[in-house]
Amino acid sequence: MNKIKSLCVYCGANFNGDETLKQAIVDLAAVMVAQNVTLVYGGGSVGVMGVIADEVMKLGGTAIGVIPQFLMDKEVGHNGITQMVITENMHQRKQKMADLSDGFIVLPGGFGTLEEFFEVLTWLQLGLHSKPIGVLNVSGFYDPLFLQMDMMVKHRFLKPSNRDLVFNEADPLALLGKMDSFSAVPDEVWFRERNLVQS
């Protein structure tokens, strides 16, 4: 029995047309629909956002979009999804997306995608939620980001156990499997070591 009933997918408002990425999105949508997992996403009809929403709906799944009014006014909202939630601003949007979701998946994207990813990751590290976070690392897109995380560990800005809170998989089925069995164990020792005297 799956613990995850809804997944927030963070992804780009642009799409570069890469066929490998398109196939990964199609595969993710298929896995989610097969496991009766609801898609929660940014509500857009364009970019990777539009592709994942279209695929979920095409397969008969459920897609909930969350979008601020100013973006809805720009006519980028998706008109063909199961439900659209309109918020007053971006902060409310992110909070609502998190509240509606049992976990978070990160697809390729830009600044906005990374900002959303690191916010929920920081919340997890702080113990503000215990929901799994997974990166669908298509064609090694996020390899440099994971190398940067390793650098943070090396220089003692990040605990290894907190670095390990993020799942890194190229296969959607494997990623969802790991996320479904996730148990959050953030290491809060970094709070107590802020005054550590460097030798």
Domain assignments of the chain as residue spans, ordered by start: 6-192
Tell me which amino acid residue 83 is. Answer: Q
Rounded distance between C-alpha atoms, residue 34 and residue 31, angstroms: 5
Query: What is the CATH topology of the domain spanning 6-192?
Result: Rossmann fold (3.40.50)
The model carries a pTM of 0.90
SS3 for 144?
helix
Nearest to 180 by CA among 13, 73, 79, 35: 35
SS3 for 49?
helix
Q: What percent of the chain has pLDDT over 70?
A: 91
pLDDT (tens digit, 9 = 90+) per residue, 40-76? 999 999 999 999 999 999 999 999 999 999 988 887 8
Residue 96 neighbours by CB distance under 10 Å: 19
